[in-house]
């Protein structure tokens, strides 16, 4: 590749997985702080644009469609639940369904009844918020390499990191398994419709995903991932004591911060002390885990800018949710609108699409398919 053909963002390389997750968490945080459908659609559009522009050629890069389907199903189910259990008599009645009588032990629950436009819009807004969060998590899964993410977890958190990585990569594994099983069944022929095809499709997909998970666990165990070194009893007691003190301080500080009647000295000061002790405990625990890293992922300008975008979007979303309540939480009987700041929250999330390098695996995949 010549110098003139290189992208403006630099040489092709995969971005640090924690940078992608930080960006996605920032977008998900902003989505959780609003029910404005326009802002939620902007956030979902930002995540989709970045995934289309910067997803890699690895199998997990094709899992975004599953998350998009899950997000769409979430919106539909939320509206359906509003119809089944959210019958309201106040408002603009669109459909007057008969109410199903329920026994006395189910008091407070209504089944069917009049369906108002306000109830449908409220279900739509809530569903869009959940869909935006799901789509942001799907964007992180489609952009961040799960194996490199596991290698980037601090040594003290290797057990938690392993569980989290396995949990968030189940959809990418299912997507890759579904693609390979579909291709194999297309070559073999046979039943193509009905329950028979569904049974022949689901069982191999689930079995293949389970086998790959077991193979990953066996490979990690063979390589000694997370193996503890020789630590004295005193060091183990010190680490356990620090983590216990940190947990106590964080719990007391969080309770005092949420309870306005508690002394203020037990709020942020105790919370900060608990976090500080937690850092010391994690450093002490990390010394017991012996592992090496081959070619660790660097933190460069692209990673820092992606992290900054996620942080700025989260902070601006929090500010809009507290300072512009009418914009962030519009009533269902008025037309929602966006302020300039809310519009900036929705648009800023697309910056990694142009401020990050093209993944090297994506270029290799294009060359192979060309």
Quote the domain boundaries for residue 27. 13-184+299-369
Specify if 81 maps to a domain.
yes
Residues 273, 329, single domain; the answer is: no
Cβ–Cβ < 8 Å for 55, 122: no
pLDDT confidence of residue 27: 93
CA-closest candidate to residue 51, choices 144, 128, 132, 167:
144
Residues 130, 275, single domain; the answer is: no
Residues 23, 99, single domain; the answer is: yes
Specify if 203 maps to a domain.
no
- What single string gives the DSSP state of each residue in 4-20? GGS-TT-S--PPPHHHH
Specify if 212 maps to a domain.
no
State how far the Cα of 83 lies from the Cα of 33, in Å rounded to an integer.
Answer: 25
- Tally of structural domains, the chain: 2
- Helix H or strand E segment including 111: strand 111-116
Residues 147, 25, single domain; the answer is: yes
How many Å from the N-terminal Cα to the C-terminal Cα in the chain? 16
**What are the distances in angstroms from CA 45 to CA 39, 163, 221?**
10, 30, 40
Specify if 329 maps to a domain.
yes
pLDDT confidence of residue 361: 64
From 253, 286, 319, the end of a domain falls on: 286
Residues 147, 31, single domain; the answer is: yes
State how far the Cα of 14 lies from the Cα of 146, in Å rounded to an integer.
Answer: 12
Place of tokens 């403006």: 8
Specify if 333 maps to a domain.
yes
**What are the distances in angstroms from CA 278 to CA 128, 155, 271?**
36, 14, 10
Residues 149, 253, single domain; the answer is: no
CA-closest candidate to residue 150, choices 136, 134, 130, 168:
168
Residues 264, 303, single domain; the answer is: no
- What single string gives the DSSP state of each residue in 222-282? HTTTT-B----HHHHHHHHHHHHHHHHHHHHHHHHHH-TTS-GGGSHHHHHHHHHHHHHHH
Place of tokens 């899950």: 70
Residues 365, 247, single domain; the answer is: no
Residues 28, 153, single domain; the answer is: yes
Residues 36, 97, single domain; the answer is: yes
Q: Which phi and psi (to 5°) does residue 188 adopt?
A: -80, -25
Specify if 360 maps to a domain.
yes
CA 162 to chain centre: 16
How do residues 68-80 score in pLDDT, each as one tens digit?
Answer: 988 999 999 988 8
Residues 124, 256, single domain; the answer is: no
Pairing of strands 111-116, 93-100: antiparallel
Specify if 141 maps to a domain.
yes
Residues 273, 347, single domain; the answer is: no
pTM here is 0.72
From 286, 313, 328, the end of a domain falls on: 286
Non-local CB neighbours of 70 within 8 Å, separated by 6+ positions: 134, 138
**b/e per residue 115-130 (b: at least 16 CB within 10 A):** bbebbbbbbbbbbbbb
Neighbour-count burial of 43, counting CB atoms closer than 10 A to its CB (0-12 exposed, 13-18 middle, 19+ buried): buried
Alpha helices in the chain (DSSP H): 17-32, 37-54, 64-85, 117-143, 146-152, 158-168, 170-188, 194-222, 233-258, 268-286, 301-323, 325-328, 340-348, 352-355, 360-369
pLDDT confidence of residue 257: 73
Neighbour-count burial of 208, counting CB atoms closer than 10 A to its CB (0-12 exposed, 13-18 middle, 19+ buried): middle
What is the chain's pLDDT, residue by residue, as a tens digit (370 residues)?
444 344 445 567 778 888 888 999 999 999 998 999 999 999 999 999 999 888 876 666 777 888 898 899 999 998 888 877 765 556 677 777 777 776 766 666 677 777 777 888 888 998 999 999 999 988 988 888 776 776 666 665 665 666 666 666 666 667 677 777 777 777 766 555 555 566 667 777 777 777 776 676 666 656 555 555 555 667 667 766 777 777 787 788 777 777 777 777 777 788 788 778 777 776 666 566 555 555 667 778 888 899 999 999 999 999 998 898 898 899 888 888 889 999 999 899 999 988 888 877 655 545 444 4
Non-local CB neighbours of 191 within 8 Å, separated by 6+ positions: 197, 200
Specify if 198 maps to a domain.
no
Lookup: tokens for 172: 């990418």
């Amino acid at each position: 590749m010549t110098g003139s053909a290189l992208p403006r963002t630099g040489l092709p390389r995969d971005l640090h997985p924690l940078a992608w997750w930080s960006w996605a968490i920032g977008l998900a945080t902003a989505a959780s702080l609003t029910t404005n459908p326009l802002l939620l659609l902007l956030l979902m559009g930002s995540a989709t644009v970045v995934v289309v522009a910067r997803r890699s050629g690895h199998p997990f890069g094709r899992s975004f469609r599953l998350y998009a389907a899950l997000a769409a199903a979430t919106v539909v189910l939320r509206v359906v639940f509003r119809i089944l259990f959210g019958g309201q008599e106040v408002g603009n009645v669109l459909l007057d369904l008969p109410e199903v009588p329920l026994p006395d032990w189910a008091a407070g629950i209504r089944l069917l009844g009049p369906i108002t436009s306000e109830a449908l819009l409220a279900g739509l807004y809530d569903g869009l918020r959940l869909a935006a969060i799901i789509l942001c998590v799907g964007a992180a899964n489609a952009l961040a390499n799960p194996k490199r993410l596991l290698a980037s977890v601090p040594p003290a958190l290797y057990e938690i990191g392993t569980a989290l990585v396995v949990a968030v990569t189940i959809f990418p594994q299912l997507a890759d398994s579904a693609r390979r099983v579909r291709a194999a069944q297309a070559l073999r022929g046979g039943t193509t419709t009905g329950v028979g095809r569904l049974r022949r499709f689901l069982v191999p997909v689930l079995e293949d995903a389970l086998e790959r998970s077991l193979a990953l666990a066996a490979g990690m165990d063979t390589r000694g991932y997370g193996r503890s070194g020789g630590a004295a009893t005193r060091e183990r007691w010190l680490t356990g004591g620090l983590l216990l003190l940190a947990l106590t301080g964080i719990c007391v500080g969080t309770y005092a911060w949420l309870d306005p009647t508690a002394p203020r000295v037990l709020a942020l000061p105790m919370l900060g002390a608990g976090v500080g002790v937690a850092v010391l405990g994690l450093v002490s625990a990390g010394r017991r885990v012996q592992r090496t890293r081959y070619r660790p992922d660097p933190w460069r300008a692209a990673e820092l800018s992606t992290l900054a975008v996620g942080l700025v979007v989260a902070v601006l979303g929090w500010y809009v949710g507290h300072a512009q309540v009418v914009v962030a939480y519009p009533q269902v009987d008025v037309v929602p609108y966006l302020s300039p700041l809310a519009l900036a929250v929705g648009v800023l999330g697309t910056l990694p699409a142009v401020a990050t390098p093209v993944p090297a695996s994506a270029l290799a995949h294009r060359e192979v398919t060309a």
